[in-house]
Chain A
Amino acid sequence: MRVVPAILRFLHRLLFLSVGLALTAGAAYAHAPKPGARAARRTAAPPLQALIPFPSSITLRGPYAEARVLIQGRLPGGGARDVSGEAALAVADPRVAVIDADGIVRPRGDGNTVLIARLQRRTARVPIAVRGVAKAGPPRFLTDVLPVLTKAGCNQGACHGAAQGKGGFKLSLLGYDPEADYEAITRFGGARRITRAQPENSLILRKPTLSISHRGGKRFAVGSPEYRLLRDWIAKGVPGPAADEPRVVRLEVFPKVRTLAPGQTQRFIVKACYSNGWQRDVTGETLFSASEESVAPVTPGGEAKAVGPGEGAVIIRYQGLVTTARVISPFGPPRRVAIRKSRPPAATLSEKIDRLVQEKLDALGLEPSGRSADADFLRRAYLDVIGLLPTPEETRAFLASRDPQKREKLIDALLRRTEYVDFWTLKWGDILRDSRQLLSEKGMVAFNAWIRQSVAENKPWDRFARELLLAQGSAYTEGAANYYRAATTPQELAETTSQVFLGVRIQCAKCHNHPYEKWKQSQYYQMAAFFARVRAKPGERPGERIVFVSDTGEVKHPKTQKEVLPCALDAAPLPKEYPGDRRLALAEWLTAPQNPFFARCIVNRLWKHFMGRGLVEPVDDLRVTNPPSNEALLDCLAQDFIRHGYDLKYLMRAIMRSQTYQRSSEPTPGNARDTRYYAHFPFKRLGAEQLLDALTAATGVPEKFEGYPQGMRAEQLPDTGVPSYFLDLFGRPARNIPCECERSDEPNLGQVLHLMNSAGINARLSDKSGRVAALIESKLPDRRVVEELYLASLARFPTPEESRKAVHILAAAKDRQRGAEDLLWALLNSKEFLFNH
């Protein structure tokens, strides 16, 4: 019989919820693009003032060279448009060079001629010089053959570049090991892939042309330039990689930056610069990809198209080298740039932040949202600094204050709170993997104490890192020594140290050169070599381990089986007879002001913490091919942070004092589509511990964790191994990997159902010692009860409209306590409660 009322109660609450959803959904809908806004901006092409070719001259060296030409049409306003596809292109002397339908210029005979581009009665001329065709040697393996195989996709990860190869044919991933590839092609399998006596019969030509069945499909056609090059290489004796072949040392891309209107396209040309000074158009063998498919996807041939507003990188990979070009597609017309230039230089870091964010917004035609309301700022600052909601008393006091400095004062006060230590100990405990599963309970507690102490004294980040790297002694007493227990092998330690402190994911280079970065396999083992002598021996107590540094131990390269000398990324290797603890050299390099990664990595982590999205995402994946959304800002933050002694609280204060941080989360029509440039404050779902502590605070019913005293908050737990269904449900990490990504803010059905109708939530609402019961007991008028419930959950006063409706609910309820419970239940299920906004 109790069932029916319970169901009705549930439905009742659902109705509440749907009202709440409708109220908060407005913000989400505002993000949708306005139809027609973009179409209106697309206008008829204006007349061109001139054709500007790139490159301005072409040299084709040898019969396999090719070159592309970009024709930029200069527009009346000073801008330019890619008209390569529209201009008529012709080569004057076809005996010297020819141009095909795709605009590719190929040599025919030694000599000089000129390429002529025509469009709208404008012309441009590009001189062409062809050399080395008459007396051509065979195609060279490194310069000619390997790039063709890479572009055809033969050595990609899903095909023969897989760790085990495919179909018995294994190539190195994207050709990082040319010697092995050469043997695989010409020698392995009884040399079955090459038929020098009948080159066209070679398996390596018949398979990719689908002349015979090929699981990888058709990669190029019989008679294509790729085919001819490979055939000639076979016919001329399959010469292998030669020591004197010039190596690619640098890539150049044109254009480097391009602003595109929606729907506009831009082709890119890539030039490889060789060790002997040669330059060559390698666009045809370049692998193109886009960092932001939603902004500017790029074709395999290297043509980007603006499809959505924002900034995107065109990622360019050729023979182990990477570079990028930038595509900007403004949200609206660029804004007020000229006025801002005349301003006085920014004095504080906060001002610099605002200046640099504003410059980006101007360039992208985004207008910033206004300043957040005091109540929003208050709740935001509490959650971001101490992980907790302000109490109703604190909220009342802050909102009532007339002090013009009250936000700055609040920031300073929060940074001094003891809860700050709880919250940031939790944060660093995640990436340092402070976990009883990994470290045993005693080790975990010791590590936790070390992190707490470091946070409490605001230990500069360079010292923090240094102490971890140089830690020794018992993991039960020297907390920092647990750094060497969470990861134990030299390889793991190299990976962890790189990811945590440099934001560099070198683990890809463990088995092969990094496919999206310049890191080579050898560099991975050189990093590992710093940790080759770290050992652990048993202590006196059960399970105790003592970390110490031995004077022997080396790391071997898995392929050459030779010992590798320690060498930090892009640094000089350690001398063979380096005396003492190698980790010292690593720590010196790591925390040197010149280190290009260390400061950028931590400021990016902090920026993400406060601003919801890292300047680089993921935060621990800093690399050329993953450029920051605001390079100048990341640079400025890092430099300023270094100048201020790696002071974390200084940086937090500066970020929080900025207008950027204090912007409203309410988007405007002009910035609703921005998710990356901080035109409005983002929505951040509360973390698992934040949410549980917020629920506890709002309902006034503390949580009890097994083995820990009543009233201990979730953010105070020493590790994530304390059993809690709620915390696991809301994405608490197991601390198995040294990555912030292990903490999840992904929504799921379980979370929604748990908040809506779990016994736990219901018990909190109706608890006799809880907030609702106390309010009813207090005999406060309905209006005040409603006010208290809003303050306790949303940290703001209700609007008059909300107050009127809520009071009506309380008044209409048969049971006033039940009515108040329903109201608080609805508030706790609102997005406003679940999100930091």
Chain B
Amino acid sequence: MNNLSLRLLLSYTLAAVCVLLGACPFARAQSRLSSGKPRAKPSTAVSFHKDILPILREACVGCHGEKNPSGGLTLTSYAGLMQGGKGGREIAPGKSGESRLVKYLLGTLQPKMPVGGELKPAEIARIRRWIDVGAKVDAPVKAGNAPQTPAMPILAAPMPVNALAFSPDGKTLAVGAYRQVQFWNPETRQLVRVWRGHAGAIHALAFSKDGKWLAAGGGTPGVSGEIKLWDIAAGREARTLSEHTDVVNALAFSPEGTRLASGSADKMIRLWDVASGKALHTLREHADVVWGLAYSPDGKYLASASADKSIKVWDAATAKLLYSFQPHEDIVYGVAFSPDGKQLVTSSADKTIRLWNFGQENSELTKTLTGHDNQVLALTFASDGQTIATASADKSVRLWRLADGNNTETLTQAKDWVYAVCFSPDGKRLAAGTWDGTVLLWNAADGKLEGSLSTLPPPTAKR
């Protein structure tokens, strides 16, 4: 009697709960499980690299790429696909009907993939056929970077000057242009030489201190980063370093010139051995685009500036993160050590420049320099260690005296955003690069404009 009552009670209650919730959940769950017997018969061989990877590249890697992939699933390679994500294995070789990937594509697992669209039936059938015959991998079609930029003429249209560097002897100014580095004589303002063959716009330039190497960084936005190491004496490209997956924004040689640090829009910093071109370390701690890099003069430290609003200080030898701090309210673009290594300067989208007493465990704010009306995109030290120059989206270049933080000069000849700024090694000349493809040259002592250069290649110059 007792038992019967309890059982009745339970079933009454369950029924009541089901009625109240609107439906019985079990029925729905069961109807989901039944689809997904393989329809297509295994037939001709399907190539992973030729037939499957292109589908994944087009439809999936937007979310399942290598950076922060959705669900922990990376679909840029065979290994990533087979490894699966947080939900487990995606592929059951030989059994496409049991493969989670297929269930997601069919919508029997939610959310249906790809989100906001769907594959063509033929593409799903191809993937299923590939799984049903064993989900094997074949040889890659072609090594090298993914999608090549289409071949097309280069128009004589201005492109921003994002990078500038004086050669250590001060006789040459290297200018980053579109797919080429231009070398100008700063005295005569004549184009001396052009080195071509870069994948896209140059975003970073650095000479090694001994004048042996020029590193030029750039790449194809959203696709790949590229660094070309040029052997200056030989006048030819020594090698291309291409592990970054987005544009290289910052480059710095270690003081003794054996190492190169690169910072990229792919959020990574990489350290390279210059002589061999070997990648030594990958520094992954930044959460957003890396915009600036600087070695301390003694070569012990590397400082990096990022859109994640932080400055990170690294042990240059071991690549260990020493500390991180948030010097600004917004993106940090520029970072530089004073020549004596005691001070650090940072510049930011928050329109300010900040001076820090550099230390091994932290850096202390000493001054905030205000005056720019817009983002401060770049900064550089003069070799005297007393002056810094900053470049801004307010179309001006400003000179600041370190001792008192005074804005000594405001140079307003630029007609658009100024992306790059550098002093000649003797500190007498200042160069700045702007959005409209112009380089302006000033006498640093009196702020007089010496002249300007246009990076637009002369019409006769061939590619």
A: which residues have CB within 8 A of B? 3-4, 7-8, 10-11, 14, 168, 183, 186-187, 189-193, 195-201, 203, 206-207, 210-218, 235, 237, 749, 752
- Would B162 and A191 count as touching, CB distance under 8 A? yes
| B residues near A195, Cβ cutoff 8 Å | 159, 178, 200-201
| A197 lies within 8 A of B5 (CB) | no
Is B9 touching A201 in the complex (CB atoms < 8 A)?
Answer: no
Interface residues of B in 125-175 (CB under 8 A from A): 147, 149-150, 152-160, 162
Closest to B156 in A: A197
Chain A nearest Cβ from B297, distance in angstroms: 27
Partner of B289, one of A7, A168, A207, A211: A168
Residue contact B16 to A14, C-beta cutoff 8 Å:
yes
Report yes or no: B393 in contact with A218, Cβ–Cβ below 8 A: no
Among B54-62, B275-283, B423-431, which stretch is in contact with chain A? B54-62
Do A4 and B155 touch across chains, with their CB atoms under 8 A apart? Answer: no
> Chain B binding site: helix, strand, loop or mixed by DSSP?
loop
Contact with A along B1-41 (1 / 0, CB 8 A): 11001101100100011001100000000000000000000
**Cβ contact within 8 Å between A189 and B265:** yes
Complex partner residue of B117 from A4, A190, A196, A218, CB under 8 angstroms: A218
Are A168 and B154 in touch, CB under 8 angstroms?
A: no
A10 CA to B9 CA, complexed, in Å: 9
In the complex the two chains form, is A749's CB within 8 Å of B17's CB? yes
B288 located at the interface, meaning its Cβ lies under 8 Å from any Cβ of chain A in the complex: yes
18 interchain pairs, CB-CB under 8 A? A4-B2, A7-B6, A11-B5, A168-B265, A190-B247, A192-B201, A192-B203, A192-B247, A193-B221, A196-B157, A197-B178, A198-B153, A198-B154, A199-B155, A213-B61, A217-B62, A217-B115, A217-B116
Query: Residue of A at shortest CB range from B222?
Result: A212
Q: Is B419 interfacial (CB 8 A cutoff)?
A: yes
Decide yes or no whether B411 CB sits under 8 A from chain A. no
Instruction: Known pairs A213-B65, A752-B20; list 14 more (Cβ under 8 Å).
Output: A7-B5, A187-B393, A189-B265, A190-B201, A190-B419, A196-B158, A198-B152, A198-B178, A200-B152, A201-B152, A213-B61, A213-B62, A217-B114, A752-B16
A193 to B116, CA, bound (A): 24
Residue B307 at the A interface, CB < 8 A? yes
Q: Which residues of A contact B156 (CB under 8 A)?
A: 197
Q: A7 touches which one: B9, B65, B149, B159 (CB < 8 A)?
A: B9
Instruction: Indicate whether B417 reaches chain A with its CB closer than 8 angstroms.
Output: yes
B152 touches A190 (CB 8 A): no
CB contact under 8 A between A192 and B149, given known A4-B5, A206-B222, A217-B62: no
Is B238 part of the binding interface, using a Cβ–Cβ cutoff of 8 Å?
Answer: no
Q: Report the Cα distance A203→B220, complex, angstroms.
A: 9
Bound-state Cα–Cα, A206 to B162, Å? 21
Chain A residues with Cβ below 8 Å from B153 are: 198
B155 touches A198 (CB 8 A): yes
| CB of B223 closer than 8 Å to a CB of A | yes
B310 at the interface (CB under 8 A from A): no
A-contact bits for B210-225, CB 8 A (1 contact / 0 none)? 0000000000111100
Q: Are A235 and B9 in contact (CB under 8 A)?
A: no
Q: Which of A198, A213, A237 gathers most chain B CB within 10 Å? A: A213
Q: Is the CB of B117 within 8 A of A217?
A: yes
Bound complex: CA A10 to CA B147 (Å): 71
B353 to chain A, nearest CB (A): 19
413-451 of chain B: CB within 8 A of chain A: 417, 419, 435
CB of B1 within 8 A of CB of A192, answer: no
303-341 of chain B: CB within 8 A of chain A: 307
> Do B160 and A191 have beta carbons less than 8 Å apart?
yes
B223 CB contacts on chain A under 8 angstroms = 212
CA distance A749 to B57 in the complex (A): 48
Within 233-273 of B, Cβ neighbours of A (below 8 Å) are at 247, 249, 265
B63 within 8 A of A: yes
Cβ contact within 8 Å between A187 and B435? yes
B contact residues around A168 at 8 Å (CB): 265, 288-289, 307
| A595 vs chain B, min Cβ distance (A) | 41
A195 to B247, CA, bound (A): 14
Least CB distance from B419 to A in Å reads: 6
Most buried by A among B220, B221, B222: B221
Q: Are A749 and B20 in contact (CB under 8 A)?
A: yes
The 10 closest A-B pairs by CB, nearest first: A196-B157, A215-B62, A191-B160, A213-B61, A192-B221, A203-B221, A197-B178, A213-B62, A7-B5, A197-B157
